[in-house]
Structures are given as structure tokens and as C-alpha cells.
Structure 1
């Protein structure tokens, strides 16, 4: 059984910016691959985490997300 780890909104924000810094727009493709692989393995919660990360990376790349701003979940 996979242990449950609490990932905060701030964690996702930081990981998203790290991925964008390292890979630029290609980070979106990496997230898409992870989602496909994890869904294929029957791990929907892990796939959902990558979907959330992908969404934040999209906002970062589009300039809708401030690197140093407060993180709020809706």
C-alpha cells in the first residue's frame, strides 16, 4: 500500500516553479506523461497530484502566477 503524504499548496507552487525553471514549457509534457503513466498503473490519486502540478505550471508559464506570491487554493 502506498503511504499518504501531505503535500501543501506551497509545496506544489515550489515544485511547479522548479520544473518550469529546469524544463521550461517542456515541463507540461513531463506532467502529461506522468499522468498517463500513473493512470495506467491504477494510481489515480498520484495522477491527480500531477494534474494539479500541471495546472500550476501552466499558470507560471502564462505569467498568471507570481513566483513569490502567497498561495491560495480554491
Structure 2
């Protein structure tokens, strides 16, 4: 059984910016690959986490998300 880990909204922002800083727009492609792989393995929660992360990376790349400030995920 995999233990559940509590990841905060701020953690997601930091992870997203780290991936964007390291890979630029290609980070979106990496997220897409992770989603496909995890969905294929039946790991829906993991795939959903990557979908959320992808959305935050898109906002970062488009200039809609800063590195600091208020952030909410719906």
C-alpha cells in the first residue's frame, strides 16, 4: 500500500517552477508523458496529480502565475 503524502499548494507551485526552470516549455510534454504512463498503469491519482501540475506549469509559462503570492487550485 502506498502511503498518502500531503502536498500543499505552495509545494505544487515550487515543483512547477522548478520543472519550468529546468525544461522550459518541454516540461508540459514531460507532464503529458507522465499522465499517459500513469493512466496506462491504472494509477489514476498519480495521473491526476500530474494533470494538476501541468495546469500550474501552463500558467507559469503563460505569465499568469508568479513565483510568489496568493495561489488557489480548484
TM-score, length of structure 2 as denominator length: 0.95
Which residue pairs with 2:19 in the alignment?
Answer: 19
What RMSD, in angstroms, separates the aligned Cα atoms of the two structures?
0.8
Gaps of 5+ in 2: none
Secondary structure of 2:21's counterpart equals: helix
Q: How much has 1:73 moved relative to structure 2?
A: 2.5
Q: Would you say how many aligned residue pairs link Structure 1 and Structure 2? A: 74
TM-score, length of structure 1 as denominator length: 0.95
Q: How much has 1:72 moved relative to structure 2?
A: 1.8
Runs of 4 or more above 6 Å deviation: none
Q: What are the within-5 Å matches in structure 2 for residues 1-74 of structure 1?
A: 1-74=1-74
